[in-house]
Chains A and B, each alone.
Chain A
Amino acid sequence: MKQNSEQDIDRILTALRDTEPRTGMEQRILATIEQRKSAAPSRIFPWRLASLTTTALLASVFALHHHSLAPHPLIPHSSTNTPSETSATPSPTHPLAPHLLIPHSSTNTIALKHPTLSIPTNHQLLCDCDPIALAESQAPSHPAPELPLTDQEKLLRRAAHHADPVELAELNAATREARLAEDKADFKNFFNPPEPETNQ
């Protein structure tokens, strides 16, 4: 039995050792590797393009965010227009109501280091995208809504609406005092001991 096991083990190991690959394996391997090599740049290119696009997008978002944090008026700044021209004639590219336009001087506008760079302001963005939103953002603030009535105020309103004479009379302090005094007197008269009768 042991002899059989040894023979079987040797037989398996010999078969594993003597197994030959199919003919042309080397050529197939080299051809496949060549294919992978040629396909490699096309696989890398989209990643590079994606990384460049992402970088550009992040840079533009950062620039816009940084620009919007700086204080500036909501008036488009044109390097060619003088302040008087700007205040006199609104720019046709920004269809705003005249009352929304605030005259500005060159001192309170953003001075760009590079005039060729034209980063749109919030005002320009809003004008291009949604003029209604801009008008709403510049509208005067409304007063706060009225507070709800107190319990006493609600009672007063109900009494006035029902017009009950007793309730209306109780609203007058003098009348109410007189009524209370009269009630007290009646109470006293009712419960006071009767006066002793005098002998005639």
Chain B
Amino acid sequence: MQHPARSETDLASLVAQYSSLLFRVAHSVLRSRAEAEDVVQDTFVRVIEHHHTLDSIRDMRVWLIRITWNLAIDRRRRIRPDQMDDLFAQTLISKNLPADQALDEAQRMKSVLRELDRLPQKERQILLLSALDELGTVELAAVTGRSESAVRALLFRARTRLRTRLDKGATA
């Protein structure tokens, strides 16, 4: 049985070590800081619930990312993603732009986010997780349960598909 004081120390160190990464993972899905923070919190609650099996987990980082991703996807089904995308797109627009240009840019950002969500699930996951610049191909393969070559292929396909769709939407 794990000593309580040690488990508390472990949990605090886990939070200090992984909370930022997990926050970005959740935020890439939810695009809301508050919702992403709730997801990170729920992830560590899961850690407490599985405290007796933590020793058997081979890669804690991969395990936590996988839990966070699944919780974020589950939460995204329950909230209104369009509202989140509007707010997130607004944060990307420079305040110095004229109103018409700012509106046009916001529309473009929202279309990118919309097409991002329309990607196949695995392609979207690979593209978003690889964008964090903290996970290598090996870790991405472990998180998604695919081979490294499949991860590379999925990443290439996701980017190509996204670009094609955006170009088609721009010309239409």
Contact = CB atoms under 8 A, between A and B. Distances in A.
A12 B167 contact: no
Interface stretch (B10-18, B64-72, B142-150): B10-18
Interface size class of A (residues with CB under 8 A): 20 to 34
A9 B92 contact: no
A128 B159 CA distance: 83
Interface residues of B, number: 39
Interface of B: 11-12, 15-16, 19-20, 23-24, 27-28, 31, 33, 36-37, 40-41, 44-45, 48, 88, 91-92, 108-109, 112-113, 116, 127-128, 131-133, 159, 162-163, 166-167, 170-171
A66 B90 CA distance: 74
Given A9-B163, A15-B91, 6 more contacts: A1-B171, A6-B163, A16-B132, A17-B131, A17-B132, A30-B15
Nearest to B111: A8
A33 B48 contact: yes
Interface string A1-43: 1101110110111111101111001101110110011000000
B41 A32 contact: yes
Interface of A: 1-2, 4-6, 8-9, 11-17, 19-22, 25-26, 28-30, 32-33, 36-37
A154 to B, nearest CB: 78
Most buried by A among B88, B131, B167, B171: B131
18 contacts: A8-B109, A9-B159, A9-B162, A9-B166, A12-B109, A12-B116, A13-B128, A15-B92, A20-B20, A21-B20, A21-B33, A21-B40, A25-B19, A25-B40, A26-B15, A32-B41, A33-B44, A33-B48
